[in-house]
Structure 1
Amino acid sequence: MTMADVTPSPVAPPAGAPRRFWRDRAVLYGLLALFAVGLAGLISATGWEETWAELKKITALQFIGLLSLSLINYLIRGARWHLLSRELGLRLALRHSVLHFVGGFAMTITPGRIGELVRLRWITRMSGWRVERITPLPLADRAFDMAAMGCVLGGAVFLSQAGGISAIPVAALAVGTAIIVTRPTLLVKLVEGAFALLRRFPRPFARLRQAARSMGVFSPLRVSGPALVLSCIGWIAEGIALFLLLQWMGADITLATATTIFLFSTLAGGLTGAPGGLGGAEAAMMVLLTMNGVELSQALAATTVIRITTLWYAIGLGMLAFPVAETLSRKART
């Protein structure tokens, strides 16, 4: 059997899905427990008083400012999701696109963030499209995220000495991956090459090839240009948030350095495959901050606050939006 012999069709949930659900939950809770233990150990090592003193430097208004910068990132990327979905041919309202995008954050801490594909379920219900037709949307969304993070990281590294030359390969990998994903001819060849090598799983590979062929709609500059600009603005906002937080704590660090540290840590956390980059992102941020002259107590406090105002804030917003998106999509289906 070859990929050409397979016609993609909806697949029923596998019989082992409940077992995998509980296994994923166990992995997630285990990671959270390890993260909590590690955080407590770091606080103990640096001293509760020093860490608490750094945290108390942040006022309620400043904390709201950090949340606002994260919200700007999410709304801008939600607008990009809408732009990409319109180019694909979907005609959902902007408010629904943003709702779907934010609601997907509720599943950020699933392994590999695969749970964020719940957005596709809402779209199929509201549009009547088959899931194969909209599979390119999350691929393009992730590709433009990686491209933007790579571009901003590369620029920040150029303007600062944070992380030295070591951050450049990460930026190059992010941009390179985005280029591959948004070039359908190249992506199809990679999918076909992987299938020829494995000679297994023809149906999933057939779906991947179909999705790869559909990615060409996002390649023209009139689409990729605005999508990339929106992505860059969103991630720069997060770099500004870390910079302001460190300034408020009294750390001597530049905007370029803070942006480099935030983006490199985010990418490093994602490469671990852990839900939400838990553990990896925090460890990378702590190391890079201390390497750039930030005191350990400040680095710990800043890492804790920035993860609350980014990862956990996104999850909180997603949990608020999730039931609304689920209800609206069910009503649309009926």
Structure 2
Amino acid sequence: MTTIHNKHINSLDKDNLEKMVFDLQNLLEIALSLSSNLEFDSLVESILYICIGQMIVDKAAIFLNSNLENDELTLYMSRGYTLEPDLKIVSKSKLINYLYSNCGIIDSDKARELMSADPTTKETYDMLKPEIVIPLKSKNSINGLIFLSQKIMENSYTEHDFQFLEKMAKFASIAVENSRLYRMATLDRMTGLFIHHYFQERLVEEIKRSERTGTPLTLIMADLDHFKDVNDTYGHQQGDIILKGTASIIHQNIRAFDIASRYGGEEFAIILTETDIEAAYTIAERLRKKIEAEVYENGNKELTVTISIGLAQFNHEIDKNGIDLIKRADTALYSAKATGRNRVIKSD
């Protein structure tokens, strides 16, 4: 009997050891994958899919501090849920206060206790009904929360699951913070578009990729019309509102992998990858019309602005580098200005 019992224990130990080794290898791969990814959206998506895949759930949501102006956590990405994009968790909520003084993952009972009775989080709780909440902590602050639903097979989260997710969360927290700092260094604070230097770096990369793969690449150069008059007449604060509004329209009307930047002042540059000039013209016309249609209020007045746009498709026979491509797109932009503004002109 003792011999059988010892064999059973040894067998269990071996199984546990093998699982432990497997999990450590898995965590190492996750850590390497997350730490090497500085693209914020791609990183966040990776974190969500790691949670979904490892825990076998069909619903996951992540809230992050993506606004530099405050400490609120806003819904950044979700899978499986149907959620309003403006969902947020304020820094003074019971949930956040509890997590600052208590480390680790919280279960469904604690999540219900903290969130359902708090007016600031009740609506969010009703939409999510989380089985567990995983805090992402960095430098004594909470920079994110991951909400996971019940497992697909409806079995409970185990102590082993909690341990795995806590280790994963440490790697994810560091990766999110590093990516966030990188994004802060590459984004224009006012518009949320990429800065000029980052645009130049990416243009070089995308031209090389276009040459290597043979896929088309088109550059948009755009400039708000008579913007100096707007600043002189209505003030720079109104000008800033229009710049932000224009940037928002650009964000909403290009693909996630296109690269939009504030080139300087009221001028914008957009790299359209895998896009020829005809397809780029359609995108540019859509942007032009939406920017023209946008109405800005200034006291009792309603203001509108227009934009002139120049396009150039990369041509390895005439474009020796990114500078040549920019010059051709700029020339087309100047033509749009010279021929009446508020139009799109294609480079030859």
Normalising to structure 2: TM-score of the pair?
A: 0.26
Provide TM-score, normalisation by structure 1: 0.27
More strand by share: 2
